[in-house]
Chains A and B, each alone.
Chain A
Amino acid sequence: MNRRTFRRAAVPAALALSLGLAACSGENETTTTGGEGTSTSDLSGSIAGAGASTQTAAQQTWAAGFNAENPDVTVNYDPVGSGAGREQFLNGGVPFAGSDAYLDEEELAASEERCAGGNAIDLPVYVSPISVAYNLPGVENLQLSPTTLANIFNGTITTWNDPAITADNPGATLPDTRINPVHRSDDSGTTENFTDYLHATAPEAWTAEPDGEWPLQTGEAAQGTSGVVQAIGAGEGSIGYADESQVAASDLQAAALKVGENWVAPSAEAAATALDSSSRVEGRPEGDIAIEIDRTTTADGAYPLFIVSYAIACTAYEDATQGELVKSYLTYVTSEEGQQAAAERAGSAPISDQLREDITTSLDMIGA
């Protein structure tokens, strides 16, 4: 992005002044541009994004990190929800959106008008494993096959010493405690991915279609990830699903899931492995990276229960400056540094180098 410094040398006086002030922080690598504007960045302005609440913590981290590198740019992210974020983006309300689902055909068609002759692209920027957490004192390293898990959540299996669970955990002594399955009471991407996993891996036990809202009217409901973690912790015999990072931070145990013939515990690396073994959705516009998550993968060490959340941007913007800002922000978001920062703060799984390369190629299309 520094290459553009020369092109946009003619900055307004006010901007030059603010750059001069900002240059005092000067902790970034500096390129000598000569004159008074010795700042590292020639970008200025503000961009706003809106969308999935899944990304809230990560977006805040990225916005802060990006602002440290580009002191004159502020990024705001409004976690209004995936659907509302896509809607705002397509209406031209925000230059980029965050979404747990990629744009569907209809939305892609609508994006052509919004994107000044270009089209919208989905970029997977946030990957986060989901843990199946349980509260059963004395039982460690619980293992669950997808069918057992689905039967626990649909209410078929009601006690912890059920033969199906015993079969998954040879040698373990399980109590006859009643199972209390806990789900999210609010509409969430975590629920959508969890039900998608159950539907794909145990279609006979889990017949409901994937949905952000819990499809059954049974079991305990709790608000937000923290609410679920709290409810599981409060009730002995409870089991639920929540973001891996928040489960790891609590004193709950996470179950290992059966993948192929192996048992895999949730981790950022295992989710990244599963992501890499997933394929891209076909028939998408150029530059769009929509991922068809392969929940039934049998790849070694892959953990297929995870969230992919997208950043949605245009390949062309009416206001070229805005496009420039979105491009450099998303470049930072997908950079190794940005992904690492989100991993530390939000507990996401950093994307692989291969995926980063692909996203960079897509990002180069913006404003090109």
Chain B
Amino acid sequence: MSTPTQQPTRDPGPGGRGTLATGTTRKGDAVFKGTSTGAGVLILLVLAGVAAFLIGQSIPALTASPEDLPEGQTVTAYVWPLLFGTVLAAIIALLVATPIAVGIGLFISHFAPRRAAQTLGYLVDLLAAVPSIVYGIWGAVVLSAWLVPIYQWLERNAGFLPFFDGPALPSGRTMLTAGLVLAVMILPIITALSRDVFLQTPRLHEEAALALGATRWEMIRYAVIPYGRSGVVSAAMLGLGRALGETMAVALVLSGARIITFDLIGAANPLTIAANIALAFPESSGLTTNTLIASGLALFIITFLVNFAARWIVSRSGAKA
């Protein structure tokens, strides 16, 4: 970009004490600054646009009288059970996926021989490349059938717990199955981020721990995990964000209704917001559409809050370290 003819402008000139010689790159700088600022502004505009759309389309449903809305309920009454289902499914997914992901991450970063670690890393990343509809079909057809005997066992032997109240659904398309499918789906993102964080543990910390006579497990416990904790938390929050918004897989797997129940293996399970939109939107019109979009707004806000919480946790523990 710079040409010899521009050379003279590089002279700082009188009083140009300590200033950077920016003359030759001024044009490039401007272009780069412009594009990157543009990209930054664009993402804000897109976000604002989505928010404006959701709010604008929700207003008719929020202001309408309950009699005109689907099932004669207020929007809050309509969205509340869905919100419950969304959070429940995401929490199950997170509880299952996070320990496994941390385990895989530690195995790749500290235990596996380099070759095996690389291959395993690729395989986990590959999980992220599988389309969600494939997970949905797999969950509805294969996984749920596998889980039926387990659910029946749980109903017989752990039926006193509200989670396994039953009666166990003979096709196995329950909340627990949906949560497990979601867990598989968020596994790659949590694993990949945890692995990267664990790999960044300062070598000196690890060696110091080993030199003090720590075993490998103690070294991981006292050096690696505390260092990576905030990273794992933010990875889990990113996974949670994905689990909250997952649509097709849940719509296919879950036998859902708009109810609130903690029974994880029964026929009627709380449906999630995204899956409910996917199921009801195609045949909706008028205020029903507005109500569905209002539920989308609720999901948007929840996802936002989760991401804010993740940032907050990371910045807080980052400051402590």
Give A contacts to B, CB under 8 Å. Answer: 53, 79-84, 86-87, 178, 180, 182, 185-188, 212-214, 216-223, 227, 230-232, 234-238
- Is B258 a contact of A180 with CB atoms below 8 Å? no
- Is B167 a contact of A87 with CB atoms below 8 Å? no
Cross-chain pairs A/B with CB under 8 angstroms, 25 sampled: A79-B282, A81-B282, A81-B284, A81-B285, A83-B286, A87-B285, A180-B169, A185-B255, A186-B280, A186-B282, A187-B280, A188-B283, A213-B280, A217-B258, A217-B268, A219-B257, A219-B268, A221-B255, A221-B268, A221-B271, A227-B252, A231-B171, A231-B255, A234-B145, A234-B172
- Is B251 a contact of A185 with CB atoms below 8 Å? yes
Chain B residues with CB below 8 A from A214, complex form? 257
Chain A residues with CB below 8 A from B279, complex form? 185-187, 223
Chain A residues with CB below 8 A from B286, complex form? 83
What's the least CB distance linking A246 to chain B, in Å? 16
Cβ-closest chain A residue relative to B260 = A217
- Is B173 a contact of A180 with CB atoms below 8 Å? no
9 new A-B contacts, CB < 8 A, other than A79-B282, A238-B170, are A53-B282, A80-B282, A186-B279, A216-B257, A217-B257, A219-B268, A223-B279, A230-B140, A235-B148
Cβ-closest chain A residue relative to B81 = A217
Chain A residues with CB below 8 A from B169, complex form? 180, 220, 235
Most buried by B among A79, A186, A214, A237: A186
> Which parts of B215-272 form the interface with A (CB within 8 Å)?
251-252, 254-259, 267-268, 271
Does B189 sit at the interface, judged by CB under 8 A?
no
Give B contacts to A, CB under 8 Å. Answer: 70, 140-141, 144-145, 148, 167, 169-173, 251-252, 254-259, 267-268, 271, 279-280, 282-286
Chain B residues with CB below 8 A from A219, complex form? 257, 267-268
Query: With contacts defined as CB atoms under 8 Å apart, how many contacts are there between chain A and chain B in the complex?
Result: 97
- Is B283 a contact of A223 with CB atoms below 8 Å? no
- Is A186 a contact of B171 with CB atoms below 8 Å? no
- Is B252 a contact of A223 with CB atoms below 8 Å? yes
Chain A residues with CB below 8 A from B267, complex form? 180, 218-220
What's the least CB distance linking A207 to chain B, in Å? 15
Q: Could you tell me the distance between the alpha carbons of A232 and B255 in the complex, rounded to whole angstroms?
A: 12
A236-B170 contact in complex given A80-B282, A187-B284, A219-B267, C-beta closer than 8 Å: yes
- Is A221 a contact of B283 with CB atoms below 8 Å? no
Cβ-closest chain B residue relative to A238 = B170
- Is B285 a contact of A223 with CB atoms below 8 Å? no
Q: Could you tell me the distance between the alpha carbons of A212 and B252 in the complex, rounded to whole angstroms?
A: 19
- Is B283 a contact of A234 with CB atoms below 8 Å? no
- Is B170 a contact of A235 with CB atoms below 8 Å? yes
Q: Could you tell me the distance between the alpha carbons of A86 and B167 in the complex, rounded to whole angstroms?
A: 41
- Is A81 a contact of B173 with CB atoms below 8 Å? no
Cβ-closest chain B residue relative to A189 = B283
Q: Could you tell me the distance between the alpha carbons of A186 and B252 in the complex, rounded to whole angstroms?
A: 11
- Is B257 a contact of A221 with CB atoms below 8 Å? yes
Most buried by A among B141, B169, B171, B271: B171
Chain A residues with CB below 8 A from B140, complex form? 227, 230
What's the least CB distance linking B137 to chain A, in Å? 9
